[in-house]
Structure 1
Amino acid sequence: MTAAAKPEATTADASRDPRIDAYIERAAEFAQPLLRQLRDGVHAAHPGISETIKWGMPHFMYGGRILANMAAFKAHATFGFWQGEAVAATGKAGEAMGQFGRLTGPKDLPSAARLKAMVRQATALIDAGAPPRRNRRSAEPKPPAAAPDFFREALARHPAAQATFEGFPPSQQREYIEWLAEAKQAATRERRLAQALQWLAEGKRRHWKYVNC
């Protein structure tokens, strides 16, 4: 009696970065299938695409350049091409990161065929040496974010945190301001404020956990 044949060992897909698997697993439950569908669709469109983590977010690379990126937040996910509206003229640029607005469910995703066409257009632009194009709306500088009174008063009582905050560029200041402003309940706001002051006193930006992941 012959022994049953053992299944052949499979090698890991070199185009996929295990850090992105971990990123997706950490994402909110609603976002996980969205990120997986986008990821699979991008890779299905072109065999030469690889992955990495930049600025704490998953990025898709092609020809040594950034092709697209995706991210998950507490209540929405995002996806966008670095060629901007030259690839994805959705009319939603500026609503969130990328060109597809706030992704909260499958209905917000482009179809498989459309995603494939956009990915191939983006790779063709990179092959042609086209520089990245910023979206018209995102190219407009945002006005400086105004810190709410309770945050300014708290910073005044914590010199170390205030020094860090004032040393940040406007984009990093905005990360803290918007996070605090999104708190709907007083208890949530107080918890976030205490956490913000601690991180700032330690010299940390809002999304410090994902930097250099």
Structure 2
Amino acid sequence: MPTEPRIDAYIARQADFARPILLHIRALMHAASPDIGEALKWSMPFFTYRDQNLANMAAFKGHAAFGFWHDKVGRAGASDDAMGQFGRLTALSDLPPDDEIAALISQAIALIDAGDRPRTGPKAPKSPLPVPPAFATALAANPAAATVWAAFPPGKIRDYCEWIIDAKTDATRDKRIAQAVAWIAEGKGRNWKYETR
């Protein structure tokens, strides 16, 4: 199947560390079957098979991610510290051997061929993250933000905590805390720009 030009553009604009990872994953997907197609969904590259989502990949500021769409496609030692089953990918060496990925692709294709539907059961809830002390203090100092924060579901709380905990410097952390408190006071989740109303 032809490649998707928007995915070419997506890969081209990623960081130097991410491009080889994304290109390698793409090559493995297409080597597995001539029937694997490409699409850009939710601003990320997806691989499709028989008009169903097979896998997706993405690049972020400090890591890339890759995962299979079907919840029954798994691997021993799968990481949950990033989107997908392969954890935070920062170099090609972070990926498992090609034959392991090829076997997972075959497993995902076989599930689709068998008519097995993905995402059939509820996801196990993630354990809550601790609220960083400086963030808790800033929330307490803003009554509007504190009220909204108290009503947030666990996922929105986790999104903000991860964002603040992942800051590399104190200055970045403080900037994120100030931005978070302002957004929360307005009733906005961390990813409010992408939420459908």
- TM-score, length of structure 1 as denominator length: 0.72
Asked if the contact 1:17–1:52 (Cα under 8 Å) also holds between the matched residues in 2, the reply is no
Choose which of 168, 181, 187 in structure 2 pairs with 1:197.
181
Q: Whole-Å Cα distance in 2 between the matches of residues 198 and 60 of structure 1?
A: 38
Helix, strand or coil for the counterpart of 2:110? helix
Asked if the contact 2:58–2:65 (Cα under 8 Å) also holds between the matched residues in 1, the reply is yes
Q: Where in structure 2 are there 5+ consecutive unaligned residues?
A: none
Helix, strand or coil for the counterpart of 1:142? coil
Find the counterpart in structure 1 of residue 34 from structure 2.
47
> Kindly tell me: are residues 109 and 171 of structure 1, through their superposed partners in 2, closer, same or farther at Cα, counting changes over 3 Å?
same
Q: Whole-Å Cα distance in 2 between the matches of residues 89 and 152 of structure 1?
A: 37
Q: Whole-Å Cα distance in 2 between the matches of residues 118 and 186 of structure 1?
A: 41
> Kindly tell me: are residues 45 and 211 of structure 1, through their superposed partners in 2, closer, same or farther at Cα, counting changes over 3 Å?
farther
**Offset at residue 53 of structure 1 (A):** 1.7
Find the counterpart in structure 2 of residue 118 from structure 1.
104
**Offset at residue 179 of structure 1 (A):** 1.4
> Kindly tell me: are residues 69 and 165 of structure 1, through their superposed partners in 2, closer, same or farther at Cα, counting changes over 3 Å?
farther
Greater RCO between the two (CA within 8 Å, min separation 6)? 1
After TM superposition, which residue ranges in structure 1, 4 or more long, deviate above 6 angstroms? Answer: none
The alignment status of 1:143 with 2:131, answered yes or no, reads no
Q: Percent identity?
A: 49
- TM-score, length of structure 2 as denominator length: 0.77
The alignment status of 1:97 with 2:56, answered yes or no, reads no
Choose which of 166, 170, 173 in structure 1 pairs with 2:157.
173
Aligned positions, number:
195
Using the TM superposition, name which of 42-51 and 174-183 deviates more.
42-51
Asked if the contact 1:175–1:206 (Cα under 8 Å) also holds between the matched residues in 2, the reply is yes
Alignment of 1:1-213 (within 5 A): 15-16=3-4, 18=6, 20-48=7-35, 49-54=37-42, 56-84=43-71, 86-132=72-118, 139-208=123-192
Q: Whole-Å Cα distance in 1 between the matches of residues 181 and 50 of structure 2?
A: 42
Query: Given residue 105 of structure 2, which amino acid in structure 1 is its aligned partner?
Result: V
Q: Whole-Å Cα distance in 1 between the matches of residues 10 and 195 of structure 2?
A: 13
Helix, strand or coil for the counterpart of 1:38? helix
**Offset at residue 129 of structure 1 (A):** 1.0
Helix, strand or coil for the counterpart of 2:78? coil
Q: Deviations over 1:153-182 (max 9, x none)?
A: 212333444455444431222111011122
Query: Given residue 180 of structure 1, which amino acid in structure 2 is its aligned partner?
Result: I
Q: Deviations over 1:104-162 (max 9, x none)?
A: 11112244444333223211211111132689xx9432223332232122123334444
Using the TM superposition, name which of 100-109 and 43-52 deviates more.
43-52
Q: CA RMSD in A?
A: 3.2
